[in-house]
């Protein structure tokens, strides 16, 4: 009787443990070596990659924001672009310069619901500094209201500072310059920081941040006293090529759109 009871107990215990043993064999336990790989995947930055190089298909602007764009130092050029065109490699050029990206800026901004106006109808040969372009900017601002105003430049720094490599693609980096010698510069600085943050959310590291300049040897105002939403932005440097500039313009357009249209988190 005692042996029968023991045998019955053994059978019942075996029946109870069998599903657990089978499940363990079929589903291996997660090992410690798998966790870092999963964590690494989660930390990999997601890069915005739509419409980065060619001009996007024109779309109807239904709820537009307005941007005003001009180029104080319009002759600032990119050496790889001049080389590709068989031009003498230089950092300034009267025709093949930063203004050649005007069409790309217009198309990318429109794609992201930002209507763009450019400073036109002035003698560029006479406008090379902040004080000479100032009356034209002032006139434009007196006739229209803009959500953002961009004075776009090309930085003088080399590729190791102005270029970002992400996977197989490279981008021209941005930096925002704020003149700290007028009483309302904090407004310009705040907007620059907001836009810099939006850029880095899309492509981490694409913005080098915000540089406030004042003191001897610098302009210190950059016409930003004319409007609280006027930003001087450096788009890449002397070593950046056309593809890198185009990709970054697309990122800039998306970042501006996000800044205007995305709801502020509470």
Query: pLDDT digits over 36-53, tens only?
Result: 444 433 343 444 444 555
> Residue 124: its pLDDT value, please?
83
First to last CA, the chain: 74
> Residue 125: its pLDDT value, please?
79
Question: What CA–CA distance (Å, rounded) separates 207 from 199?
Answer: 6
Question: What CA–CA distance (Å, rounded) separates 162 from 208?
Answer: 8
- Which class for 96: exposed (0-12), middle (13-18), buried (19 or more C-beta within 10 A)? middle
Closest Cα to residue 192, out of 117, 107, 114, 252? 252
Question: What CA–CA distance (Å, rounded) separates 92 from 257?
Answer: 31
> Residue 204: its pLDDT value, please?
98
> Residue 264: its pLDDT value, please?
55
Extract the residue ranges of the chain whose pLDDT is less than 70: 1-62, 263-266
- Rounded (10°) CA dihedral 69, 75, 80, 86: 130
CB 67 within 8 A of CB 141: no
> Residue 45: its pLDDT value, please?
43
The neighbour count for residue 169, using CB atoms within 10 Å, is 15
Question: What CA–CA distance (Å, rounded) separates 107 from 113?
Answer: 10
Report the CATH architecture of 65-261.
Answer: 3-Layer(aba) Sandwich (3.40)
Question: What CA–CA distance (Å, rounded) separates 174 from 164?
Answer: 10
CATH 3.40.630.40 boundaries in the chain: 65-261
> Residue 90: its pLDDT value, please?
96
> Residue 52: its pLDDT value, please?
55
Question: What CA–CA distance (Å, rounded) separates 84 from 238?
Answer: 14
> Residue 60: its pLDDT value, please?
62
> Residue 121: its pLDDT value, please?
80
């Amino acid at each position: 009787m005692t042996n029968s009871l023991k045998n019955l107990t053994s059978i019942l215990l075996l029946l109870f443990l069998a599903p657990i043993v089978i499940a363990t064999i079929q589903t291996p336990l997660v090992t410690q070596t798998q966790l870092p790989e999963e964590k690494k995947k989660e930390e990999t930055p997601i890069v915005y990659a739509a419409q980065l190089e060619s001009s996007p298909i024109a779309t109807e602007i239904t709820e537009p924001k307005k941007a005003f764009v001009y180029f104080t130092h319009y002759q600032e050029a990119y050496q790889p672009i001049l080389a590709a065109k068989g031009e003498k490699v230089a950092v300034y050029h009267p025709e093949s310069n930063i203004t050649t990206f005007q069409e790309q800026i217009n198309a990318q901004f429109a794609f992201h619901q930002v209507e763009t106006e450019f400073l036109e109808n002035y003698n560029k040969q006479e406008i090379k500094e902040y004080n000479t372009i100032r009356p034209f900017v002032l006139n434009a601002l007196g006739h229209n209201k803009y959500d953002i105003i961009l004075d776009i430049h090309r930085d003088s720094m080399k590729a190791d500072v102005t270029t970002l490599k992400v996977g197989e693609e490279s981008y021209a980096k941005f930096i925002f310059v704020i003149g700290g010698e007028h009483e309302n510069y904090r407004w310009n600085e705040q907007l620059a920081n907001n836009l810099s943050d939006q850029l880095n959310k899309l492509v981490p590291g694409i913005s080098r941040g915000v540089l406030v300049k004042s003191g001897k040897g610098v302009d210190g105002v950059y016409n930003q006293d004319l409007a609280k939403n006027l930003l001087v932005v450096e788009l890449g440097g002397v070593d950046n090529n056309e593809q890198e500039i185009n990709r970054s313009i697309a990122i800039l357009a998306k970042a501006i759109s996000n800044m205007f249209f995305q709801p502020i988190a509470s």
